[in-house]
Homo-oligomer: A and B are copies of this chain.
């Protein structure tokens, strides 16, 4: 790690969970078709410029904000904190880090009150809020549930060049690493970090950044995820299915990756495991283990490695990218210079990968 981010003297805000993402989309109607008509997220409120969406078991105003704008990007990764006082802590924490900090007592989005937005040390627009409007939790409203019922927001996945540097900062913010991907030389390719007691609220994926890799929503069961695929086939938009469905090695969750009309990546995710014990064991995966990303060994499509969304600064301009200098996971695992094994020690490559390249 070069250029480590110093640990502030002040305490970080007490983050409860990843709560919502604000996305800039180029065509609000097209995005509405995807998130509302295809994914069946619930509209809390909407107008010509912005749509506020939530999942079926949510009781706060929104888990996703779609805002019309010129450049598809992420305007905010928003975390709920435990109390109003945690906003003061967020201001102090990021101020000490020398970050740009803005506080808006009326909130940056509808439904949310006093909030702090920062350009964090990695270049991401992080938001912290406590005050929020309560809306109807539709958990029992099964008459509104669809086969692919999305019940919660689960996590954010962020692309950043130096994963250990990001981990160190996130640990200062109170996050704890649950799993990571490394190689034998100490290069860290990705790490999963949590506040709520699941595998993550935020993952850091090594690559040119700051960029947003994906935002993830949860269903109750695996068949819900399969139903989303079936519906997208029926709607003849199967080309918006990028990867999966499959079982992750990391997190042990069942997953699906979609791309929205602007290319923003959305994961549908279910059934990771309890990580809330203070001594929850860290799980480290070898980057060459072909089951780390997909437990069934199905190949990761290159776009999943290369594509990600821009993020905005607090003026609404895209953040410039910093290039990753460590090895890329794609390069070391597939192609001429990389390799992946099904069984540690195998020297032959599996037929699935072999025949595709």
Q: A266 on the interface (CB 8 Å rule)?
A: no
Q: Is the CB of A296 within 8 A of B235?
A: no
Contact A226 B254 (CB under 8 A): yes
**0/1 per residue, A244-280, Cβ < 8 Å to B?**
0101010010100001000000000001011011111
Partner of A229 from B249, B296, B301 at Cβ < 8 Å: B296
Is B273 a contact of A151 with CB atoms below 8 Å? yes
> Does A205 touch B at the CB level, under 8 Å?
no
Give chain A interface residues in 181-229, CB to chain B under 8 Å: 196-197, 220-223, 226-227, 229
CA of A119 to CA of B216, assembled, Å: 44
Is the CB of A298 closer than 8 A to any CB of chain B?
yes
A301-B355 in contact (CB<8A): yes
> How many copies of this chain does the complex contain?
4
Bound together, the chains give a CA A196 to CA B277 distance in angstroms of 10
Q: Which of A101-109, A137-145, A163-171, A319-327 contacts B (4 or more CB under 8 A)?
A: A137-145
Closest chain B residue to A237 by CB distance? B342
CB of A17 within 8 A of chain B?
yes
Per a CB cutoff under 8 Å, which of B141, B144, B280, B350 touches A239? B350
Interface residues of A in 131-168 (CB under 8 A from B): 134, 137, 139-147, 149, 151-152
A234 at the interface (CB under 8 A from B): yes
Cβ contact within 8 Å between A355 and B239 = no
Cβ distance A137 to chain B, nearest Cβ, rounded Å? 7
Contact status A231-B291, CB under 8 Å: no
- Given contacts A342-B238, A351-B303, A233 and B145 within 8 Å (CB-CB): no
Can you sample 11 A-B contacts with CB below 8 Å? A60-B277, A139-B273, A140-B295, A145-B231, A146-B146, A230-B247, A232-B296, A236-B342, A236-B343, A238-B295, A239-B351
